[in-house]
Structures are given as C-alpha cells and as structure tokens.
Amino acid sequence: MRQMLVLLALLLAAPALADADNDRAREALARGEILPLSRILAVVEREVGGRVIEIDLDRDNGRYVYDVEVLSRDGRLVELSIDAATGAVLDRDEDD
C-alpha cells in the first residue's frame, strides 16, 4: 500500500516538476545562457535527422546541456549531448 501511495505522489508531482524545468529553461534563455530550442533542433537535424523522441535540459559541470534522443531515418536510436549555449555536439551515442 505504501508503495502505491509513493507512486501516486510521484505521478501527481510530475506536472509540477515539468513546469519547474520549463521555467528554468525560459529563465536561462532570457538570460542568454542557452540557445532557443529551434537552434538545437537544427543541430539535431544536421547531425542525425529523423524524429526527436525526448529532450532534456540539464546543468552539467556548470554548463547547460541538452540531452536529445533521436530515432534516425534508418531506425537507429541516437543520443546526442549538445552544449546549450553554443550548439556544439559534446557526445554522440548510437545503438547498433
């Protein structure tokens, strides 16, 4: 029963956590610390193409990084880490 209550609490909190992430991203964009998502998506299109499945904005070692999961046109899952301030691809991991 306790596990069910914890799970329910997490599910109910998820929208609030997502809103906090969105607010953090908007504030970083307004301060000029990150590029607009449209610029990041252009990098993803150039590097991989395909369909974006998930995008997360994290702060790693003092800088913002977009972690992007993409389903490539040939069906591979590609994960990109992109510097949110410059658009530089920091890491690329592909499923074979």
Q: Domain tally for the chain?
A: 1
* Nearest residue to 41 (alpha-carbon basis) of 71, 78, 77, 66: 66
- State yes or no: pLDDT of 16 exceeds 70: no
Looking at per-residue pLDDT, the higher value among 96 and 62 belongs to 62
pLDDT tens-digit series, residues 25-54 = 888 889 999 999 899 999 999 999 999 999
pTM of the model: 0.76
Compute the distance between CA of residue 78 and CA of residue 9 in angstroms, rounded to an integer: 32
Give the structural domain span for 83: 2-94
Q: Which of 7-11, 12-16, 26-30 has the highest mean pLDDT?
A: 26-30
Give the Cβ contact number of residue 62 at 10 Å.
5
CATH code, domain with 15: 3.10.450.40
